[in-house]
Structure 1
Amino acid sequence: MPSRDIQAADPVRILQDLIRCPSVTPAEGGALAYLESVLAPAGFAVERPVFSEAGTPDVENLFATIGSGAPHFVFAGHTDVVPPGDATLWSHPAFGGDIENGLLYGRGAVDMKGGIAAFVAAALDFANGGLRAGTISLLITGDEEGPSLNGTVKLLDWAAKRGHRFDAAIVGEPTNPNRLGEAIKVGRRGSLSGTITVHGRQGHVAYPHLAVNPVPQLVRLVRRLTAEALDQGSEHFDASNLEFVGIHVDNHAWNVIPAEARARFNVRFNDQWTRDTLSAWIEARLDEAAGNEIAYELDFEPGWSASFLTRSDALIGTLSAAIEAETGVQPALSTSGGTSDARFIKDYCPVVEFGLVGQTMHQADERVAVEDLVKLKAIYRRFLDGYFA
């Protein structure tokens, strides 16, 4: 069980207690209950709504707020973690929160219970002495590492319907490649996934003239989509890329030509594309390659996201100044990497991401330098001082 005899504003002890909650997606694992036990006595109003979606597990979330009026600032994150994998690959228990040689070990140490521990500690300190006007909220989900259907996207809608209007947000994801302070994520490329299904005619391999083999036809379509670059990048974004992530033929016999073959792909696209222009580009090239010879279907997944870029000096400038003051590093403004829950928050307020060094996220022996954790709390606290000044 997590300890209760802690200084609530100590990010190291908060992180240890969070790691000891086995909150593997979609299990709450005690993590949100622990945060409530820390926040509520400090005056935060804490709610833990549960959201549902057909065909997916129910997910518990947490929304905590203190203060009133504008400006309304949000720290956002997720307590759910990926599975630890093979326990024998860990030098310390995945849910132990052990510290050795200045490193704190455990699943979620950097992705992203460490970020939560730092901003919870900073918010507790600031609310205790520095919040004279305005509102701080903590928006924490248990669904980021899963399908992301019953977490942040619904929690934001739930909060908006209760009258909350946010002015800015920081997501505490690990953003730094090598050293704390290197990078703030000020945007992300969009993501679109799809499946190509080619329909052939099943038959005996010795009589190919009586069958239509979908496998070489699918290869033809795949080659067409990978034959040219989508673009060369833009001022703020890397080049878009289309990657095939799986090819499937449901056939285990050696003497049967299959009836169907499928390929799955994902596109990470920059601000030169919308969902409509990108899907039209894909469809045009598939039609060109298919001609009148290949019967295929193209289905796009519903869970897509658009690219976005945040422009807010009140947010980015204040955070950059806090980072440089605490680390001596002037952070780069980056849009690289994958997606995060910032893609949902951007529809409600300006949002950036800044957190720990992410080198060990999702690995065995995931770990964070205790010094970095303490420094991250100091950055968040300095940011709050500047933002609410």
Structure 2
Amino acid sequence: MLSSFHTSTSLSQSLDPVQIAADLIRCPSVTPEEGGAIDLLQSLLESMEFICHRLYFEEYGTDKIENLYARRGNTAPHFCFAGHSDVVPVDDVTSWSVRPFDGIIAKDHLWGRGAVDMKGAIAAFIAAVDKYLVYGGNKGSISLLITGDEESQGINGTIKVLNWMEANGEIPDMCILGEPTNHTVMGDTIKIGRRGSFTGHITLRGIQGHVAYPDLTQNPVHQLIRIFTPFINDNLDQGTIHFAPSNLSITTIDVGNLANNVIPAKAHATFNVRFNDNHSSESLNLMFRKFFDNQNVSYTLKTECLRESFLTEPGILSKLISDATFIITGRRPELSTNGGTSDANFIKRLCPVVEFGLVGKTMHQVDEHVPLADIYTLKDIYLTVLKCILG
């Protein structure tokens, strides 16, 4: 067990982002539990004269989720910080070197579930806002959009908060999502977009029979292998200016065959495509159906799209963050669109959005941790962005 020390977060004139992050980690907000995280954030923000809205959403068959929208000021420009207070489960606690919800500070690192993804970034932004206000900043508006189900279904979080914001005239001019974006050091990567995620569930129907008489059968497993081989060997395209090539991965093949001498009658497969701006879910659906129609197989196909691809063209927002990062770290970040999906896919409907947060090396891992220096660096970058945007 690592040795530790910590102090409680105070509402002094200069909030410490490390202590805020530690206090947030001590809120066990595993989706769908709020765990006290929203309570803590509301307390901090109301002390800075933010107007807070606790937003509860649920649908039949889903968990009720608690979200937070807070705003200070009512004039332009309106800058928004977005993130999520929920974290992934810990699973085997005994594999951790620290108790995952103790918010341990040791060896110049903050340890605990959510340290990287993404309570450290939320704390850095709150501390940056606090410092900005201490400096006397009072121009424009600042808001926070904090969801409670980013790590799960994503049904009752950001999408519904955005709908509420739009209905209530809460439209930001620009937004930073604090997901962990940097690969190895602070300031190496800004995410300006994300590839989309498209899933297909295909069932091939063959002719069942004895393996000793293959000429009397039609093996759907062999058919699956044949029709997917081109996608396994090659990407779907060559990529675009800002995106890597679109790629297909088979995630499961299921036959349910209990006998080793019987060719099955059916075979099921699920595949996922991470696609760039060459495609849309509609174009992919049409492409795969046309391809399978030409393969001389009997099939059924169901498709779904988790997220479409999106891009915030390099411009004012990405330059502001790049300049702020260079001022604080001496590095010019790469503009990237790699990685999985994020809530930025939804936020871009209301305003330009980019992602910039901590180094993501240990997110979702056992002994998740982040260097204290990185949290302070992120706070300074956010503060510099605020000064540039709001004056």
TM-score (norm. length: structure 1): 0.93
Q: Distance in 2 between matches of 1:167 and 1:63?
A: 16
Give the drift of 1:45. Answer: 0.8
Deviates more, 1:163-172 or 1:268-277: 268-277
Q: How far off is 1:219 after superposition?
A: 2.1
**One-letter code aligned to 2:312:** L
Q: 2:75: which partner in 1?
A: 69
Q: Tell whether 2:310 aligns with 1:307.
A: yes
Q: Which moved more, 1:247-256 or 1:55-64?
A: 247-256
Shift of 1:250: 2.6
Residue 6 (structure 1) shift: 5.3
Cα shift at 1:232: 1.3
- Taking only aligned residues, the RMSD between alpha carbons, in angstroms, comes to 2.0
Partner residue of 2:349?
347
1:9-28 equivalences under 5 Å are 9-28=15-34
Counterpart Cα distance in 2 of 1:237 and 1:111: 24
Distance 1:53 1:220 in 2: 41
- Of 85, 88, 112, the residue aligned with 2:118 is 112
Residue of structure 2 aligned with 1:80, choices 82, 86, 106: 86
Q: Could you list the runs of 5+ residues in structure 2 that have no partner in the other structure?
A: 1-6
Report the counterpart of residue 321 of structure 2 in structure 1: 319
The equivalent residue for 1:371 is 373
Q: CA contact under 8 A between 1:311 and 1:350: conserved in structure 2?
A: no
DSSP 3-state at the match of 1:276: helix
- Does the 8 A contact of 1:244 with 1:265 survive in 2? yes
Q: Is the Cα–Cα contact under 8 Å of residues 197 and 305 in structure 2 kept in the other structure?
A: no
3-state SS in 1 of match to 2:283: helix
Q: Is the 8 A contact 1:225 1:286 kept in 2?
A: no
Q: Which moved more, 1:48-57 or 1:111-120?
A: 48-57
Q: Is the 8 A contact 1:310 1:352 kept in 2?
A: no
Per the TM alignment, residue 108 of structure 1 is displaced from its structure 2 partner at its CA by: 0.8
User: Any idea what the Cα deviations from partners look like across 1:194-227, whole Å, max 9, x if unmatched?
Assistant: 1111123555656767765422222222224334
Once the two structures are superposed, what CA deviation does each residue of 1:236-284 show, in whole Å capped at 9, x if it has no partner? 1111111111112233344554343211111111122222322222222
CA shift for structure 1 position 352? 0.5
Q: Are the structure 2 counterparts of residues 211 and 30 from structure 1 closer, same or farther at C-alpha, using a change threshold of 3 Å?
A: farther
Given the alignment of the two structures, is residue 297 of structure 1 paired with residue 300 of structure 2, yes or no? yes
What's 1:199 paired with?
205
Structure 1 contact 20–97 (Cα < 8 Å) conserved: yes
Q: Choose which of 57, 66, 89 in structure 2 pairs with 1:60.
A: 66
> How far apart are 1:189 and its partner, in Å?
1.6
Q: Which residue does the alignment assign to 2:3?
A: none
Deviation at 1:92, TM superposition (A): 1.1
Residue 243 to residue 130, structure 1, CA distance change in 2 (3 Å):
farther
CA separation in 2, counterparts of 1:85 and 1:268?
28
Assess if the C-alpha contact under 8 Å between 2:187 and 2:332 holds in 1. Answer: yes
Q: Distance in 1 between matches of 2:140 and 2:127?
A: 18
Q: Per-residue deviation at 1:302?
A: 4.2
In 1: Cα distance, 2:166 partner to 2:128 partner: 25
* Structure 2 residue corresponding to 1:39, chosen from 32, 45, 52: 45
Percent identity for Structure 1 against Structure 2: 50
Mean CA deviation greater in 85-94 or 136-145: 85-94
Residue of 179, 186, 196 corresponding to 1:180: 186
1:380 is aligned to 382
Mind listing any 5+ residue stretches in structure 1 that lack a counterpart?
none
**Structure 1: distance between partners of 2:321 and 2:70:** 22
Instruction: Give the whole-Å Cα distance in 1 for the aligned partners of 2:286 and 2:230.
Output: 14
Quick one: distance in 2 between partners of 1:178 and 1:227? 30
Length, aligned pairs only: 384
Task: Give the C-alpha shift of residue 77 in structure 1.
Answer: 0.4
Return the letter of the residue paired with 2:90: P
SS of aligned partner of 2:335 = strand
Residue 219 (structure 1) aligned with residue 221 (structure 2): no
TM-score, normalised via structure 2 length: 0.92
Structure 2 CA distance for partners of 1:304 and 1:261, relative to 1, 3 Å? farther
Q: Kindly provide the amino acid, as one letter, of the partner of residue 54 in structure 1.
A: Y
Quick one: distance in 2 between partners of 1:54 and 1:303? 19
Aligned equivalent of 2:285:
279
Distance 1:52 1:256, change over 3 A: farther
Structure 2 match to 1:101: 107
Q: Residues 68 and 133 of structure 1 are in contact (CA less than 8 Å); yes or no, is this contact kept in structure 2?
A: no
